[in-house]
Amino acid sequence: MKKATPGGRSDMIFEIDGKRPKIGDHVFIAPTAVIIGNVEIHDGASIWYGTVLRGDMDAIVVGEDTNIQDNCTVHTDYGNPAILGDRVIVGHNAVIHGCIVEDECLIGIGAIVLTGAVVKKHTVVAAGSLILENQSVGPTQLVAGTPATVKRTLSTEDLPRLKKPLENYKHLSLLNFGIRLLDPSKRSE
């Protein structure tokens, strides 16, 4: 098991074909996350345990204060980068593939967003939903289903609720900056 390097960064950050990840300030990358190739992670973002960002076919951009939670996959296609805006929440086990997710969206647990799709600002993609290739959703909508359809327009009262998960993950990333690998002889203490 690899431990976090100083500053909470993974040892599993790789260059491929001359392309190397660019990582901003105050970024938490869990020790089991894998970052490969043409990936740009902006300030304050967090990449959680078991997540893979594989920028081998095109670019991946992760905006400021965006969190990509445990066991997510972010990949691309030739000609289709994966662009995640600022303050995006990507729930556990989601798949983001060669698409655009604009600022302040929430991609629910286990959701899949396919190549060429666009998720517009302030949109919530419900857990387990499927955004089809080249589908566009939002802005300011709740979409759900397989394939995803619009369930309703988000109200001005809904939007502040998107801030709480961002605050939670900002706090959790600060806590996780201090993680350390336990000495096997002391694990039962």
In angstroms, what CA-CA distances link 72 with 93, 111, 137?
4, 10, 21
- pLDDT above 70 covers what percent of the chain? 90
First-to-final CA distance of the chain: 20
Return the domain boundaries, the chain. Answer: 13-186
pLDDT band at 11 (very low <50, low <70, confident <90, very high): confident
Confidence of residue 6 (pLDDT cuts 50, 70, 90): very low
Q: Which CATH superfamily is domain 13-186 in?
A: Hexapeptide repeat proteins (2.160.10.10)
Pairing of strands 100-101, 118-119: parallel
Q: Stretch 6-22: mean pLDDT, rounded?
A: 82
What DSSP character marks residue 9? B
At residue 150, does pLDDT exceed 80? Answer: yes
CA quadruple 139, 140, 144, 149: dihedral, nearest 10? -50
Q: What is the pLDDT of residues 97-130, one digit of tens each?
A: 999 999 999 999 999 999 999 999 999 999 999 9
Q: Count Cα neighbours of 161 within 13 Å in the Cβ-side half-sphere.
A: 10
- What is the reported pTM? 0.91
